[in-house]
Amino acid sequence: MDLKTTYLGLKLKNPLVPSASPLSRTLDSMKRLEDAGAAAIVMYSLFEEQIEHEAAELEHYLAYGSRAHAEALDYFPRPEEYNLGPEQYVELLQKAKGSLGIPLIGSLNGISTGGWIDYAKKLEQAGADAIELNIYYIPTDPALASQEVEERYINVLHAVKRAVRIPVAVKLSPYFSSLANVAARLDRAGANGLVLFNRFYQPDFDLDALEVVPNIVLSTSDAMRLPLRWVAILHGVVKTSLAGTGGIHTAEDVIKMVMAGADVAMMCSALLKHGPRHLTTVLADLNKWMVEHEYLSIEQMKGSMSQASVADPAAFERANYMKALNRYK
């Protein structure tokens, strides 16, 4: 079975890539992902807040979402609560690069075009094969128009692209009025890949303490429907590589994502739940499925169920919604 794929111009042995998660916090854990069959690893994110907690530009944007400016800073973890400081992150990446045989993608997570962007260069110098730029922004200010939010994505991408020569992928939110337009603009602005989608963690309420609490719920395969649809719609429409992330747990999930048109299927929750060895199981199941269904390569499957390829392209649009509602018994 030929499982090879190309993502961000990187030749990968298969389409399984562990997405940013605590599994890349140590070299030992990254080694276990590689041994289990990962084709590349996206490291956990280095946050803008970590790099320049006090930067004036950032303070300005925190104020946007919080009303009470001074209190806004309290919502952010103090620097000592982060995993590793920026310099240690760069060191870990460099060490991992020296001992792993698979491509390593550094992850930068931020929303402004401040000095933190310099870290893109540092990750490149430390040996990163590519950068995943996670723009996790929650626009809560009613005065902020969608155009301005979109500009922010483009500006951050431009700043990072100016700083490095390695490929840059953008991990973005599904919450745009016109996602296809944003994707096309990021493509034109030089994005080498789009990672669909950022999973937005919704806060919960603690009813005893009457506090808003962050709590992460791991995904199930159901979460895959949203990225699956958009990968299928964007395949062949944008020139960038496409990565699916969210709800990919099994070999069948991987196959669906590849058929939609993804170059790689990223996994996080499944690996946190079952451990790195789960990759080996998924790879074995993937091989088995391909043999049984007479597929010879990943490339042969790629995009075969994209909107451009299916007999009924309307299945990805409003017509599908009407059908789905009417079919419910």
Name the minimum Å distance from CB 314 to ligand FMN. 28
Among the listed ranges 1-9, 13-21, 206-214, 290-298, the one in contact with ligand FMN (CB under 6 A) is 13-21
The answer to the question of residue 20 lying near ligand FMN (CB under 6 A) is yes
Structure tokens at 194: 């789009």
The answer to the question of residue 250 lying near ligand FMN (CB under 6 A) is no
Q: In this chain, which of 5, 14, 45, 250 binds ligand FMN, going by CB under 6 A?
A: 45
Q: In this chain, which of 44, 116, 153, 295 binds ligand FMN, going by CB under 6 A?
A: 44
Neighbours of 218 (CB within 10 A): 11
Binding mask 187-206 for ligand FMN (x = CB under 6 A): ------------x-------
Sort 95 into a burial class: Cβ within 10 Å, 0-12 / 13-18 / 19+.
Answer: middle
Residues binding ligand FMN: number (CB under 6 A): 24
Among the listed ranges 8-16, 154-162, 180-188, 263-271, the one in contact with ligand FMN (CB under 6 A) is 263-271
Q: In this chain, which of 50, 107, 192, 306 binds ligand FMN, going by CB under 6 A?
A: 107
The answer to the question of residue 279 lying near ligand FMN (CB under 6 A) is no
The answer to the question of residue 219 lying near ligand FMN (CB under 6 A) is yes
Provide the Cα torsion 142, 143, 145, 146; round to 10°: -30
Q: DSSP readout, 113-150?
A: -SGGGHHHHHHHHTT-SEEEEE-------TTS-HHHHH
Degrees to nearest 5, angle at CA 176 with 173 and 181: 105
> Where in the chain does DSSP place strands (E)?
5-7, 10-12, 16-18, 41-47, 104-109, 130-134, 168-172, 193-196, 204-206, 211-213, 241-245, 264-267
- Given the rule CB under 6 A, which residues bind ligand FMN? 19-22, 44-45, 107, 109, 134, 171, 199, 216, 218-219, 223, 245-248, 267-270, 272
